[in-house]
Amino acid sequence: MIGIYQKIAIFTILIGLIQSATIGKHLQVPDKDPTLKALVYKEGLPKANAKIHDTVLWVPATTQFSARRITVMNQGKLYSTWTYDMLLQQSNCPSRVADL
């Protein structure tokens, strides 16, 4: 019979194998992923509006971002790079009044 510590060790090894199988590979990310949404709305959108320099804010025209993520190992730590497409449209909100 397998003890609790052996079960934990097997589970940890399986998780490690699954993770290592995705390292260095581009993975498609679902549009509902919370990290993707944070990247789009807290990082990407404010930067896009800063570059546009318009009197109104620009907002995503769709919630489909065609996102991909690649994770690499560097000095024992995992780092991820994200790419996504963001189609923008003008809003009716003045850019100097609202915060995103």
**With 80 as the cut, is the pLDDT of residue 38 above it?**
yes
Q: What digits encode the pLDDT tens for the residues 41-91? A: 999 999 999 999 899 999 999 999 999 998 888 888 888 899 999 999 999
CA end-to-end span of the chain:
56
| C-alpha to C-alpha distance for 28 and 35, rounded to whole angstroms | 13
Structurally, the chain folds into a number of domains equal to 1
- Enumerate the β-bridge partners of residue 26: none
Domain assignment present for residue 5? The answer is no
| Most confident by average pLDDT, 9-18, 22-31, 42-51, 67-76 | 42-51
Domain assignment present for residue 37? The answer is yes
H or E element that contains 61: none
- Domain with 83, as residue range(s), is 25-94
Q: What is the pTM of this model?
A: 0.66
Q: What is the mean pLDDT of residues 25-32?
A: 89
**pLDDT score of 56:** 93
- How many residues comprise the chain? 100
